[in-house]
Chains A and B, each alone.
Chain A
Amino acid sequence: MGIYSPARRRLIIALLLTSVLLVTLDLRGNSILDTLRNGFQQAMDPLESAADVVARPVRNAWRGITRYDELAEENEELRSQVEQQRADQISARAAVVEFQSLLELNNLPSLGDIPTITARVIGETPSNFDEVIEIDKGGDDDIEVGMAVVSEGGLVGKITKVFDDRSYVMLVTDEEYAVGAKIPGTVSDDATPTTPAPPTIPNAIPNPDLTTTTTIPPATTTTTVPGTTPPGQVPPSSTPPTTAPPTTAPPTTVPVTTVPESTTTLPPSTRETGSLQGQGSGRPVVLRFLEEDVDTGRFEEGDPVMTEGGEGSLAPPDIPIGTIARVRRGAGSAGPEIEVELGADVERLSFVRVLRFKPLSEAEGD
C-alpha cells in the first residue's frame, strides 16, 4: 500500500474499525440499529416486490433447467407415496383422536392446546453461512423471539428476530440451532436374549374369556388343562399333565375357571434424550449425547425423533422432528451420533406455523 497517502490509509483503517464497532453494538443489542434495520427493510419491501416480478421468469427458467429431472423423479416418487399414505393416514387419524382423548382424560397438555399463527415465507437469507428464512408475521401478531416454528412435516426452527410485520426464523439446519430431542419408546428386538428378564406382571385377574368348560367323560381319561401357555409359544415341557382320577360316575359337566399363569412382557417404556444440532445447508441434523445401553435398546433407522420439551426448552414437547436416518456408533464414550432426516422440507417452505408457546421458566416470570 505504498502508493497510498496516509489520508487514504487512515480512511481504510477508520472503515474497518467502524465495522467492528457496529458489530459490537449490534450484538450487544442497540435499539437505534434495530429501528434502522426495521425501517430499511420496510423501505426495501416495494423494491423487492418489483424485483421479484422482474426476476420471476429468470428464476423459473433456471429452475426448469436445473431441476427438471429432479422434479420428474420426485413427482413419480410422490405419487406412489401418496397412495401409500392414504391408508396410513386413516389409521393415524384414529390413533391421534385416541391419543387426544387420553390426554384430555388425564388433563395433560397437548400440542393442540397451543395457539398457532400461520405465516407465509417471504424470503430466505442471501448468505452462504446462515440458514434463516423470513416470514410475514411479527410483533403485531404477538410473535416473540424464541417461539418454535413448525410446518406440516414437523419442527422447522425458532424465531430469532422480530419486527412489527415480519420475523426471522433460524432453521433447524443452522449450525447455531440446538434443541432438546428424544427418541420415544425405544424397543429392541435383539436385546432380550442377552439382557436380564424384562419386568413382568402376572396376569392375575380372572379373564372370563379364558373360562373353559371341560366335559369329563365317564371313562378314565387324562385331560391336559390348557391356558397356561401364552399364544404363539411352545408349551413348557415341565408342565405335567393333569390326570383326572378314575371315575365311574355318569358324565357331568364341570365348569372350570382357569387362572392362566401366563406372563405379559411389557416393552420398556423408556425414552432417550439428547441434543439436536444443525450442521448447515445440505447436511443432516445430528442428535448427540444419547446413551445407548442394553436397558433402552438400540436405535434403529426409521425410529421417530421428537422434541423433548421441559422447563427450559423453548419448544414444547412432542413436536415431530423427523426419523433416524443413520446411526454412527463411535468407539468413545460419547455415545452414538444419530443423523436425523427431517420431517419438514426446510428447503421448500411456503407456509409455516408459529407456536405461541412459552416455556414454564418464562411463563412464571410474567
Chain B
Amino acid sequence: MKKVALYLIVVAVAAACSSKEVREDAPVGDRSTAVPPTTAGGSSSTTRPTQSASLAPGNPLTDPNSALSKRSVYFDFDSNAVKDEFRGLVQAHTRYMTDKRDTNIRIEGNCDERGSREYNLALGQRRAEAVKKVMTVLGVSDGRIETTSYGEEKPAALGHDEASWAQNRRADIKYRGE
C-alpha cells in the first residue's frame, strides 16, 4: 500500500477568504444554542418570530400561550407516521383553518442527515404529506395545503447524534404570509 499526500493551496474565489465571509459564518455552537432543546417527544416550539406579518399582538399563531404557536411535528427514524402526541397540535391548526377560511399553509418536511440527499428530500415531503393527510381527513380542503421539503438541508440542530437527529426529523407548519 502506498500513500501519497499532496498539500496544495488552492486558488479559491476571493469570497472564500474575505474577512466579510468569515463574519457571516455563524459558529456552530451559536446556532446550536439558538435552537430550543427539544426532544422527539417534547412539545417545545421551533417557531421563529422573525416575520413581521405574524408579530401582531394577539395573533394566536404566534402567541406562546396558544397551541397554534406550536408548529413542528416530530417523527421517528425512517418513519412518516404522525405520532399520537402530535395529534392535538395538528387538530388545533385544523380547527383554526376551518374557522379562518382565507388561510393557506405550507407544510415543510425535514429529515436528519443520514442517507442520500435527494432521497431525503422525498422522505421529508412524505412526512409533510402525512401531516396534510390528517388535516384533510378532518376537513381542510386539499388546495389550501402545499407540501414541500427541505430534506436534510435545514437541520434545526447541527449535531451528529440522535439528540440532534430527533429535532431534525420534523414537519413544520407555515402560514402563507409568514
Real binding pair: no
